[in-house]
Amino acid sequence: MEYNWDWGVLFREPYFGWIIDGIGWTVTVSIAAWIIAFTIGSVVGVARTVPVRWVRSAATVYVELFRNIPLLVQLFLWYFVLPEVLPREWGLWMKREMPLPEVTTAIIGLGFYTASRVAEQVRSGIEAIPRGQSMAGYATGLTTVQLYRHILVPVAYRLIVPPLTSEFLTIFKNSSLALTIGVLETTARSRQITEFTFQGFEAFTAATVIYIVITLTVTAFMTVVDERAKIPGFITGGR
Amino acid sequence: MRETRAFIERLPSTFRAVLGAGALVVAFGSTPAIAQELTGTLAKINESGTILVGHRETSIPFSWIDSDGGDPKGYSIDLCMKVVDKVKEVLEKPDLNVRFVPVTPQTRIPLLANGTIDIECGSTTNKLSRQEQVSYLPTTFITGTKLLVKKDSGIAQLEDLVGKRIALAQGTTNERVIKAMIEEQSLDIDVLNVADHAEGFLSLETDRVDAYSTDHILLFGLITRSNSPEDYEVVGDFLSYDPYAIMVRRNDADFQLLGTRVIADLFRTGEIKEIYAKWFEPFPTSDAVSEPPTDLLQASWRINAFPE
């Protein structure tokens, strides 16, 4: 292959600074979106199992809506369409006054999308708990709220650490879609370096390594969490 | 060999010239009479009876195919057809076959170099780095980086954007030019990175940014496709220089001269103004947008109007 390799380009300014900057945005967007996803996902996931019909329906609508529209389309809807359908002042605020409009939109879009997936994990966690536990809870005089608070939710979360790890990893990789609405995260920066230096192989190798390092770190962290959290002998607790 | 050369060098200069001419006759004497005048592309066209014209499919109004799917048309195509007419005349082949071959920015140079097309009629910037591979006829259009803004914004140049936002398409030369200017003059202008022209225009349309920037002629194209063309205007000086020209094969002086002669004639006789007006005043895609030739372009036409 006729190609002039130049790994040094990755460590020259301004490109090195771009990469560091890109990693910063990848991590920021992912973590912030994860906080939203985990919070909303927990609420919706629990709502999908409660014995109140309209709450269950509302939660189902949320999950199906956000889970079935491609993330890329959702980002465009949040970014380009939402400000136009809101009252003019609100729309202008979203486009101009809102701090870091692209980043904020990416975090919200990614967070709401991932929340629907987290919700499904939470629901499956709760449903994996044998019915006997709920019945025993009610038999000891717990209310529904107390049942969830003391039995179902704590056990469910300990069961779903492995699948949640996957969702957590996915959010880092999905954060690269934020480049389509102008967030200069790792992938966007790699593209930019390619366009400026024509050293595409180096730039994307760097991006690959960065994503692997980030996700392996997350995996290691979640493994520790899983070790601490898993319930010995519980059927879905082992792997 | 060295001895022969030394021998020749000792001969009187007139005798040497005669010897050289004799050698030429020996070398080329066997070729037929007509081919003696024809070389390169002209010889190829003469032999095949076909001229292959490379065209773009969406470069409005330079070279594009309309929704009716007919032959390509546009400013560059018209100019190329003048060259084709001249080729017919020179080769004395009035019924010369003209075949259109679509090209893209990625394929135009290789296809020209390998003979798939004989002439490229599109919207190609004449760049020195490209001249390592191809040659150009005189510049037929001049564009460059400009700003697209809303009419009521009061923005007339890049400096007016201080404290405001501009959208730039990732990977374009325009992105680099504007970012370099912002850095050089340490202007406080916020940049929004967008993926392509359509998204950049959408950002401007929805007031997300105050300006969008790319080649000025492409900005007009964007305006013609908007819902309310009268709300937008293209402002500022050219922030970069992009001269468009017709491409021909490199190292083919005869064909290049033929093409240059045709283009220079159009410039000298002023016929170029009619052809230009046909495609730019107004745009074929919208009567609301008209772009008279810039002073720079008119000057370029005059400079390249070489006398016969």
> 3-class SS at B113?
helix
Domain boundary among B199, B215, B240: B240
H or E stretch covering B248: strand B247-249
Asked if residue B1 is part of any domain, the answer here is no
β-pair partners for B244 = B125, B141
What CA–CA distances, in Å, run from A26 to A111, A183, A188, B71, B150?
14, 9, 10, 48, 34
Domain boundary among B189, B209, B240: B240
Asked if residue B272 is part of any domain, the answer here is yes
User: What mean pLDDT is reported for chain B?
Assistant: 85
Residues 146-185 of A with CB under 8 A from B: 179-180, 182, 184
> 3-class SS at B78?
helix
Domain of B172, CATH number, reads: 3.40.190.10
pLDDT tier at B31, thresholds 50, 70, 90: very low
| Dist. CA A70–CA A59, nearest whole Å | 19
Asked if residue B187 is part of any domain, the answer here is yes
Are B61 and B130 found together in one domain? yes
A100 — alpha (psi -120 to 50), left (phi > 0) or beta? Answer: left
Residue pLDDT, tens place only, B60-111:
889 988 878 889 999 999 999 999 999 999 999 999 999 999 987 767 888 8
Chain B residues in contact with A182 (beta carbon < 8 A): 192-194
Chain A residues in contact with B206 (beta carbon < 8 A): 80, 83-84, 91, 95
Q: Show the domains of chain A with their CATH numbers.
A: 13-229 (1.10.3720.10)
The one-letter code for the residue type at B50 is T
Token pair 């962290």: residue: A221
pLDDT tier at B116, thresholds 50, 70, 90: very high
Are B229 and B251 found together in one domain? no
Strands of the sheet containing B211-215, edge to edge, are B190-194, B165-169, B211-215, B145-150, B232-235
The 10 Å Cβ neighbour count of residue A216 is 11
Buried b / exposed e along A169-186 (16+ C-beta atoms within 10 A): bbbbebbbbbbbbbbbbb
Chain A residues in contact with B173 (beta carbon < 8 A): none
- Contact indicator for A110, A175 with CB cutoff of 8 Å: yes
Are B88 and B222 found together in one domain? no
Are B136 and B250 found together in one domain? yes
Residue pLDDT, tens place only, A164-221:
999 999 999 999 999 988 899 999 999 888 777 767 788 899 999 999 999 999 999 9
What is the least distance, in Å, from the CA of A231 to any CA of chain B?
Answer: 48
Residue pLDDT, tens place only, A20-77:
999 999 999 999 999 999 999 999 999 999 999 999 999 999 999 999 999 999 999 9
Asked if residue B92 is part of any domain, the answer here is yes
For residue B106, the 8-state DSSP code is T
Residues 6+ apart with CB under 8 A from B74: B59, B60, B61, B62, B63, B64, B121, B279
Asked if residue B256 is part of any domain, the answer here is yes
Lowest mean pLDDT among A120-124, A157-161, B32-36, B213-217: B32-36
CB atoms B170 and A102 under 8 Å: no
The 10 Å Cβ neighbour count of residue B161 is 25
Are B112 and B188 found together in one domain? no
Judged on CB neighbours under 10 Å (0-12, 13-18, 19+), B148 is buried
Chains A and B: how many Cβ contacts under 8 Å? Answer: 30
CB atoms A195 and B170 under 8 Å: yes
Looking at residue B7, its pLDDT comes to 52
ipTM: 0.71
Across the interface, of B176, B193, B207, the residue whose CB is closest to A182 is: B193
Which residue, among B129, B153, B170, B172, would best test binding to A if mutated, counting the most A CBs under 10 Å from its CB?
A: B170
Query: DSSP letters along chain A, please?
Result: ------GGGGGSTTHHHHHHHHHHHHHHHHHHHHHHHHHHHHHHHHHTTSS-HHHHHHHHHHHHHHHHS-HHHHHHIIIIIHHHHS-HHHHHIIIIISSSHHHHHHHHHHHHHHHHHHHHHHHHHHHHS-HHHHHHHHHTT--HHHHIIIIIHHHHHHHSHHHHHHHHHHHHHHGGGGGGGT---HHHHHHHHHHHHS-HHHHHHHHHHHHHHHHHHHHHHHHHHHHHH--TT-TTT--
Which residue, among B164, B172, B203, B208, would best test binding to A if mutated, counting the most A CBs under 10 Å from its CB?
A: B208
The dihedral formed by the CA atoms of A233, A234, A237 and A239, expressed in degrees to the nearest 10 = 60
Asked if residue B3 is part of any domain, the answer here is no
- Contact indicator for B264, B303 with CB cutoff of 8 Å: no
Are B83 and B216 found together in one domain? no
Are B117 and B150 found together in one domain? no
Asked if residue B197 is part of any domain, the answer here is yes
β-pair partners for B242 = B143
Are B135 and B67 found together in one domain? yes
Across the interface, of B165, B193, B202, the residue whose CB is closest to A80 is: B202
Are B51 and B72 found together in one domain? yes
β-pairing, B211-215 with B165-169?
Answer: parallel
Q: Which two tokens stand for residue A56?
A: 């269950």
Token pair 């490199």: residue: B250
Asked if residue B117 is part of any domain, the answer here is yes
Are B109 and B47 found together in one domain? yes
Which residue from B192, B141, B135, B203 is spatially nearest to B168, judged by alpha carbons? B192
B39 or B67: which carries more pLDDT confidence?
A: B39
Domain boundary among B240, B273, B291: B240
Which residue from A187, A179, A172 is spatially nearest to A103, judged by alpha carbons? A179
CB atoms A180 and B207 under 8 Å: no
Are B199 and B291 found together in one domain? no
Per-residue pLDDT for B46 more than 60? yes
CB atoms A182 and B194 under 8 Å: yes
DSSP H helical ranges for chain B: 2-10, 13-28, 40-48, 75-91, 108-113, 173-184, 197-205, 216-224, 253-269, 271-280, 295-303
Query: DSSP letters along B180-226, please?
Result: HHHHHTT---EEEEESSHHHHHHHHHTTS-SEEEEEHHHHHHHHHTS
CB atoms A192 and B194 under 8 Å: no
Token pair 């009610």: residue: A138
Are B42 and B135 found together in one domain? yes
Domain count, chain B: 2
List the domain range (segments joined by +) for residue B179.
145-240
Looking at residue A239, its pLDDT comes to 44
What is the least distance, in Å, from the CA of A113 to any CA of chain B?
Answer: 22
